[in-house]
Amino acid sequence: MKTHHFETKTEASDFPLRELERRKKLRAFMKKGLALPPDELKEALYKNYSPDAIMVP
């Protein structure tokens, strides 16, 4: 409990359950994606968006 700074046993037991649920939702999202066709996905980004520009060398 001290390692993760939980104040109660309830918090300590609730955290792993919430984490499992979060990971399950994340896996489902990563599998499904945004469900947008490629042309709509391109339109959803800023016009001058470049992932390379935000990379830290």
Predicted pLDDT at 51? 73
Residue 12 to residue 22: CA distance in whole angstroms = 16
**Could you please report the per-residue DSSP string of 8-39?**
SHHHHHHHHHHHHHHHHHHHHHHHHTT---HH
Model pTM above 0.95? no
Domain boundaries of the chain, sorted by first residue: 9-54
pLDDT tens for each residue of 2-54: 787 889 999 999 999 999 999 999 898 888 877 888 888 778 777 777 777 77
